[in-house]
Structure 1
């Protein structure tokens, strides 16, 4: 059912990613144009790696475009001896695999002693009309029907990768994306903050204005730049090379976060997260970032690009997630599509 009230008025909020999950949603790769020059089999392997890493701790839901896609996914999952009980395939047509941005933005509330699940179905226009999106915009209606849960339609364009929350009323985002005229015209910052308040339960929004990574086609998604790892701790991507085109913008983001406070006025703990060495494809810089990790119930999936920095970042994150295993996922082929692990996934909270 499509609800007309705003969800926050009904007690809904967007939980932090580390809160208990019942599942993860993925959209099986089928469009070769998404990864030009790459073998889709290499991309499919990344999806199987993710399913294998998470299927013993939460249900893995995978959208497949058609029956052929379902059969292909079934075959590859069976080759890894993965349980069909923990992996659910849904035949739902989609243009592309970036379900973080067009998929359901799940929210929860406590109601009569029980948790209830719903989701925001934000508008999606493929990052300002960059690629086709006619099927992606229909996915959420199918998911609402499959799950038999309510959805809210705020009536504006907003991508899931553009918002990062701590589950306690604080949100990180970027002006370069959320206020980009290619999404909602000349929307004001105040108006956008009201949408976040009404639909996510956000009380305070911290805006990063350092722009976006070289090679990024999303206009600056926050999940490549800064991530909450606890209600008051943020990892912030930094570039150590002053000659790198990302250096100044990332330094500006770090300064903003170091000056920011939580809802009680306490400063955030800001932990610098190094950028990987430049990842190139056909002479073009790709928007590779270690911030594009996924937090599961007992596992953190970390993008790995090869080299010593992978091990350095794994060591840095380990004490921040003491009750989770850090699992590197080879992402050099995946990032050729200009997105990473977090971009192809969407967490579903437990109820």
Structure 2
């Protein structure tokens, strides 16, 4: 049976996609800033494991100049640059590698989104990785799921059950498909995502900026200490819900709260800046920073959670301006065998 390993399991490599001209980065300055930010993440991950970057046709030379010589480049038509969502979700039975190719529709067919090319990237990356491709009719993205590797998966109601993605699916049908593809047995449904994730370039509620497993039975959860921010009450409710839950093994969940950065707004909009949107790679934790007093506090929390890993912080403000974070632009390929 195929199952999705937890992110802390050993990786073969990390997959990413290079920003190209599109509505998310709508001018030369924005695109240049995005490429600098993506390159900083790629170089941080490369300290710990191989990285393959998918670039648009003819963009490899520009990418190479920022990435350096030791990141593999492959060219393929792209619409956007969020590999967690457009790429496949890798699974394994211990001996074989497979990849779930979810149906992708531009985060709920949003008006600005294009996905004619991105909807094919999952199968393309699966093929490059030598994996068996497992297609799914469920409209879903990698940022909308998080697993503990022991049967539990985190989901949000506004993504998988929202009318923009799967209007004709019931909760039971979604759970059955998720469990069949990921090898999970219990789904923990959070009601929604952070407020800023419902803005123009938001995903409508991805779980990977709200809560994530750090190890079986332990979850890191975003909290908003400032009552002026609409996520203040939302996060209190989510933390309370998680502390009342048990995982697939019947264990009560330990919840480690990670406070949001002190900044509340950017460009007059509520921000969803979150340290939860981190990426675990072989021997490392690549963690968002925001030029904020709470950056060091968050790094200390993650260093305590992962004492055998090196915590590296990368400024993620440009990435969040485009609608995501470090976890959203990376996708792990597990080591098999």
Q: Give the alignment's TM-score, normalised by structure 1.
A: 0.90
Alpha-carbon distance in structure 2 between the residues aligned to 1:147 and 1:264: 32
Equivalent position of 1:49 in the other structure: 40
1:71 matched to 2:61? The reply is yes
Alpha-carbon distance in structure 2 between the residues aligned to 1:290 and 1:156: 28
Equivalent position of 1:109 in the other structure: 93
CA contact (8 A) 2:263 2:292 kept: no
CA contact (8 A) 1:63 1:92 kept: yes
Alpha-carbon distance in structure 1 between the residues aligned to 2:93 and 2:65: 38
The 5 Å alignment of 1:1-351 reads 11-36=1-26, 38-67=29-58, 69-78=59-68, 82-83=69-70, 87-110=71-94, 115-130=95-110, 131-216=113-198, 217-278=202-263, 280-351=265-336
Could you tell which deviates more after superposition, 186-195 or 281-290? 281-290
Equivalent position of 1:7 in the other structure: none
**What do residues 21-75 of structure 1 show as CA deviations (whole Å, max 9, x unaligned)?**
01111100112521346532222222222222222432101000012x1010112
Shift, 1:332, TM fit = 1.2
Shift, 1:99, TM fit = 1.2
CA contact (8 A) 2:229 2:264 kept: no
**What do residues 262-282 of structure 1 show as CA deviations (whole Å, max 9, x unaligned)?**
223221111111111235443
Shift, 1:219, TM fit = 1.4
Alpha-carbon distance in structure 2 between the residues aligned to 1:279 and 1:336: 13
* Corresponding residue pairs, total: 330
Q: Give the alignment's TM-score, normalised by structure 2.
A: 0.94
CA contact (8 A) 1:209 1:252 kept: no
CA contact (8 A) 2:17 2:55 kept: yes
Alpha-carbon distance in structure 1 between the residues aligned to 2:197 and 2:46: 32
CA contact (8 A) 2:262 2:293 kept: no
Shift, 1:210, TM fit = 4.6
Alpha-carbon distance in structure 1 between the residues aligned to 2:119 and 2:44: 29
Shift, 1:299, TM fit = 0.9
CA contact (8 A) 2:151 2:249 kept: no
The SS at the match of 2:196 is coil
Stretches of structure 1 that go unaligned for 5 or more consecutive residues are: 1-10
Moved over 4 A (4+): none
Could you tell which deviates more after superposition, 32-41 or 177-186? 32-41
- After superposition, the CA RMSD in angstroms is 1.5
Shift, 1:95, TM fit = 0.3
The SS at the match of 1:63 is strand
Could you tell which deviates more after superposition, 50-59 or 220-229? 50-59
**What do residues 63-100 of structure 1 show as CA deviations (whole Å, max 9, x unaligned)?**
00012x1010112233xxx42xxx21110111001111
